[in-house]
Amino acid sequence: MTASANPWPVDQARIDANWRAITIELDAPTPGRLERLLRAAGLPGRVTRLVVATPALRRAWYLATGLAILIGLGATDAARPRENLFVLLVMAPLVPVLGVGLAYGAEADPAHEVTLATPMRGLRLLLTRAAAVLGFSTFWLLIAAILAPGRQPMAFAWLLPSLGLTLATLALMTTFRPRRAAAVTAVLWVLGVTWVRAGAADPLAAFGPAGQVLMVLVAALSAVVVVARRHRFDLLELRA
Amino acid sequence: MRAAQVLAFGLTRRFRSTEALRGVDLALEGGLITLLGPNGSGKTTLLRCLATVDLPSGGSTLIDGLDPRHESDRIEIRRRLGYQPQAPGMTPSSRVFDLLDYLAVLKGHDDDRVRRHLVYRALEEVGLDERVGDDVGDLSGGMIQRLGVAQAILGQPTLLLLDEPAAGLDPDERFRLREIVAARRHRATVVVSTHLTDEAAIGDTVLVLIEGRLRFVGSPEALAATAADRAWIQDTEPVGARATWRLGDGRYRCLGQPPPGAAPVDPTLEDGYLLLTSPVRA
């Protein structure tokens, strides 16, 4: 049969392309449970991929959850409410700090070098991961704060320190490796609040208005440093 | 889509007291370029500088006229780039599809359907489309290297940089990988580093990097020709040859200044390379 005799000319290339497209749609693996959940919550596929497909980030999430639950359990002990509140306020801001420290860089992500060579800006990727860790840990810690005895407003005084310390960690990451940056921030924080507590009558003095203002300043200063030195997140952490 | 133009001027890279690159000049555009050199010669550092993940201590590079020292240029270069570092960096528990899809997001492909097609296309090119749902940990070493190439060619880059992609592979897998890489030489500037001379022989151009210096740029034939009249075979162990090794038949292949009466043999690329890397004996 000749082509001209065919009453329905066939564009084989187009049929092949369409068939291939159908095959791919049918064959492509479906996202995991967590990713489907995030998509159902309205997050676009590209974001859920960035958040879920990073094993390092999953580890940071698990750590954040574990720590938050431990802190929460401690805070709900009604026997020593003031002491427990102090522990909650000191420990809660450290959860996102450790999470961020574990979620980025060559130590955390085996594909870090490949990741750097893509057009996705390092800072954008870092902020996406930081937001994921911060959001996740904040969720659990808020539950802990709500369950804290007395339901006092002071139980939420870790929110600004969390933001300040997380940004401070990001700022230090422009100079130090992520884990070291997180460790430096954590040590300075614990030393700072312990020092304030030792010199004040109120054990929660570090979390009062002055402390909150200080944390806003730390957050603002750190944000400036992060933006100014954002190129550091686009390059390998090689020591020249 | 035009192959990327790569220029380097006096490229240096220092790490404390070590100078990994010492004034490298380059001009590449299209074709398959093999970067040959012994371990520690600076191959990885050079590729990292070209891949814009590291910045040189001195000198400069231009990719398609873009300077990686400037943030916007660096991002634009990365849109055209496919890079496989020496360590593939793949988590064994990740699924093949998820890993490539994640990297496709990083490469700026936001649409889910477009990404799926790009991922399948890359996997088809390296012969892994049947393993799309498998975990990386279930793949063989050769397959993982091919997966590394798949992530690098995702999105059809015009500059492809592969750092020792055939390291540790058996001959079958090396041959397969060689075919995959060579197939892209007409669509991109492909730079493949290796310390194996038979891998280097497939290049249109061979670069030989020794102790951070570019010691040879030319065709594989030209590199072999540098050993013309300086390779010979003799029955007894030679004295004063630059390099020598025993052949299967018990004789010695020698490189250097042949002794009187020695009959030169046809030189190979390996001869030329060894003459470059072997120190001149006093």
Give contacts of B119 with chain A, Cβ < 8 Å: 28
Residue with tokens 């891998």: B199
A117 with B81: Cβ contact below 8 A: yes
Residue B186 has pLDDT above 50, yes or no: yes
* pTM confidence score: 0.88
Residue B72, judged by CB atoms within 10 A of its CB (0-12, 13-18, 19+), counts as exposed
Question: How many Cα atoms occupy the beta-carbon half-sphere of B93 within 13 Å?
Answer: 9
Percent of chain B's residues with pLDDT above 70: 99
Residue B67 has pLDDT above 80, yes or no: yes
Ranked by mean pLDDT, the top range of A65-69, A76-80, A97-101 is A97-101
User: For B226-249, what is the mean pLDDT?
Assistant: 90
Whether chain A has a CB inside 8 Å of the CB on B117: the answer is yes
Whether chain B has a CB inside 8 Å of the CB on A231: the answer is yes
Please report, to the nearest 10 degrees, the dihedral formed by the alpha carbons of residues B72, B100, B124, B84 taken in order.
60
Q: What stretches of chain A show up as alpha helix (H) in DSSP?
A: 12-27, 33-40, 45-52, 55-75, 81-91, 94-103, 112-116, 122-147, 159-172, 178-199, 209-228
In angstroms, the CA A20 to CA B190 distance is: 29
What mean pLDDT value characterizes chain A? 84
Q: How confident is the model at residue A16 (pLDDT cuts 50, 70, 90)?
A: confident
Among candidates A29, A110, A115 on the partner chain, residue whose Cβ is nearest the Cβ of B106: A115
Mention every residue, 6+ apart, whose C-beta is less than 8 A from residue B246: B252, B253
ipTM > 0.85 (yes/no): yes
**Chain centroid to CA A41:** 18
Residue B39 has pLDDT above 80, yes or no: yes
B16 with A240: Cβ contact below 8 A: yes
User: For B59-67, what is the mean pLDDT?
Assistant: 96
- Over residues B98-128, the pLDDT tens digits come to 999 999 999 999 888 899 999 999 999 999 9
Residue A240 has pLDDT above 80, yes or no: no
In angstroms, the CA B204 to CA A154 distance is: 70
User: For A53-70, what is the mean pLDDT?
Assistant: 76
Mention every residue, 6+ apart, whose C-beta is less than 8 A from residue B231: B253, B254, B255, B264, B265, B266, B267, B268, B271
* Residue A79: per-residue pLDDT: 66
* Residue A76: per-residue pLDDT: 65
**Chain centroid to CA B198:** 12
User: For B210-219, what is the mean pLDDT?
Assistant: 95
* Range in A102-116, A174-188, B181-195 the model is least confident about: A102-116
Q: Quick one: CA dihedral B114, B115, B120, B122, positive or negative?
A: positive
A64 vs B234, residue with greater confidence: B234
Which of residues 137 through 156 in chain B touch A, CB cutoff 8 A? Answer: 151
In angstroms, the CA B13 to CA B43 distance is: 12
* Range in A23-37, A219-233, B266-280 the model is least confident about: A23-37
Q: Identify from A118, A227, A231, A236 which residue to disrupt to test chain B contact, counting B C-beta atoms within 10 A and taking the largest count.
A: A118
A112 with B89: Cβ contact below 8 A: yes
φ, ψ of residue B166 in degrees (nearest 5): -100, 10
What mean pLDDT value characterizes chain B? 91
**Chain centroid to CA A145:** 20
A236 vs B160, residue with greater confidence: B160
User: For A146-151, what is the mean pLDDT?
Assistant: 69
- Over residues A176-218, the pLDDT tens digits come to 999 999 999 999 999 999 999 998 888 888 899 999 999 999 9
* Residue A238: per-residue pLDDT: 58
